[in-house]
Each structure stands twice: as C-alpha cells, then as structure tokens.
Structure 1
C-alpha cells in the first residue's frame, strides 16, 4: 500500500476566527434515507461509542484494530469530529475524523471515514473542513494527513498538496 503525505495549503475557504467547542449541531434536517426522514448532526464530543465506530470502519472495509488501542487513540486525540444520523429517536454514527497535535504548530488528521450510504454528499468534505477550522482556531498552521492513492484527489480538492517542498515525511516500520 502506498501512502501519500499531504499538507494543507492555507485557503480562503475556512474562517480564521476563533471558534468555540460545539456539541451536536444540526447539520442537515429532514433528508430522506431509506424512505424515512433523518437528521444529521455534527459533534465534537470525544465520547464516541467504540462499537459504533467499529461498525462504521467495517462498513468501508478498514482492517479491524484492537478496540483498546482505538479507545486510547481517541482519548489522546486533540480533536474529534463526528457525524451522527438521528432517525426515530435513535442515533447512529455515519462519519468520523480525528486530529492529533503538538498543541502549538503541527497537527495530523487521521481516520476520516463516512458510511458508504452517505458518501458522495459532501459529508467527508464537511468533516475535513470542520477539523481544519478548529485547528486553525488554535493557530495551528501545519496540518498533515496520510492518504491512500485513491483518495489523494479528494484531499487535493480540499486544499491539501503532496509534499510541497519535496519529501518531508519519512516512515519507520518494525522489521
């Protein structure tokens, strides 16, 4: 598997203003999904149901990771953004992304995922934009992510560029 290291190039699409921590903001009201009206909420709450996250990752074919390690990763993340579908009073995780940071200069976006039933509707773009907006509110200027080749164009369209000044990223893997 080839991974690309991408860097966010500052763009005018996002507000530079400081933002406050938001909880469950109604993003889309009354969209039709499987012949029912549903609502989609955006949340920055770190209390993610790990079973729901595992189901979401399974839905896109990601390899399973030990749930204990996923919990640790979430707890140590700088920022979590999720999309929650609410239907008939029940909530279901349909999108997720997180970022780690040094809390000063750098951040890396991880685990951007949208349920296949909701892909192609701009929800992945919303997740990434929200994370960038939040990171910029902390004056974090270097935002990176790792992308499989099939999604590089998606991230290019959101303002990310592949290694703008030559290769900056290197990897160490156990042998």
Structure 2
C-alpha cells in the first residue's frame, strides 16, 4: 500500500447539505455489463452490513468481522453509498467512508464499486462527494491508502504521494 495525500489549502466547495438520497443518474441505456437506472447517492450511516459485506466480497476483499465493521461505520464521520433502486428493490453498488479529527485531517477508507458498475465514473462520484463534504468541514489534509493497481485512479483525483516525503508507518500486533 502507498500513502497518499490531497491538500486543499485555498479551495472552496459549493452547495452545503445533501438529502438522504440524491438522484445522480437517470440513465435509460444499457452498458455492456448492466442496465443503469435510478442510481442514488446516500449519506446515511444506516448501512445494511450484509449488503456491504456482499459488495466487498464482489471485489475480493478479505472478510472482516461484522461486529468490527459496525463499529468502524459508527465512528466514521462521513459515509457515502451508491444505491440502485429498481421498483421496490435496492442494491448497494458503491461505498466509501472517511474518518476525521474534525479539525485538520481526514482519511478516506473502503472505497468500493461493484465490478458490474466499475469504469462508469461512479468511483469518481463517491470520491468527489467525500472530498466536497470534508472541504465543507474545512479539512485541509485528506489522506488515503491505495493498492498499487488503483494509484492512477487517485492521482487523477488530485492525490499525490506526500510531498514532504513522510512515509506512513504501521504498528500491528505480533
């Protein structure tokens, strides 16, 4: 993993609050993989843990204890989900969250888009929304950890390797 930072010293962000569900697309077309209809952006912290686990499984992430995932969600300052609504059914197709000291720094975690929906710009939608909300809270340093295969995605969004040369350090129980 590589440690990345985005610095937003003098930038401003538009609109303030979001409703619980905000329609971001109403596409009546079919992509190669899936028909895209009624995809909503949600900022609720009330996430179905089993749906989140299925989403993470779909991209091959290691299973995490649901009890700990629930705690992580509770302690997240921002949660963004993408939900596809068809008739009376909903499906979690994207997710990300951020933690913060609510003063200076925030870290983005768990950015995931279902494989059927990857390559359609939904990851950018989630990231832009997270950054927007963090900037509205006047957070100036936003960090994340990225696997090598997704570094180019984050670079396109303005994330850079720490310009001060600070290397992230980790402590793990032995």
- Judge same fold: TM > 0.5, yes or no: yes
Q: Number of residues paired by the alignment?
A: 172
* Structure 1 residues 18 and 101: CA distance shift in structure 2, 3 A: farther
Matched, 1:10 2:18: no
1-structure distance, mates of 2:21, 2:45: 11
* Structure 1 residues 15 and 92: CA distance shift in structure 2, 3 A: farther
TM-score, normalised by the number of residues in structure 1: 0.91
Q: Secondary structure at the match of 2:38?
A: strand
The 5 A counterparts of 1:28-43 are 28-32=25-29, 38-43=37-42
Matched, 1:96 2:95: yes
TM-score, normalised by the number of residues in structure 2: 0.92
The 5 A counterparts of 1:137-152 are 137-152=136-151
1-structure distance, mates of 2:12, 2:93: 25
1-structure distance, mates of 2:28, 2:144: 31
Task: Name the structure 2 match of 1:70.
Answer: 69
2-structure distance, mates of 1:123, 1:27: 10
Structure 1, unaligned runs of 5 or more: none
Q: CA RMSD in A?
A: 1.9
* Structure 1 residues 15 and 116: CA distance shift in structure 2, 3 A: farther
Structure 2, unaligned runs of 5 or more: none
Q: C-alpha displacement at 1:17, in angstroms? A: 3.6
Task: Name the structure 2 match of 1:61.
Answer: 60
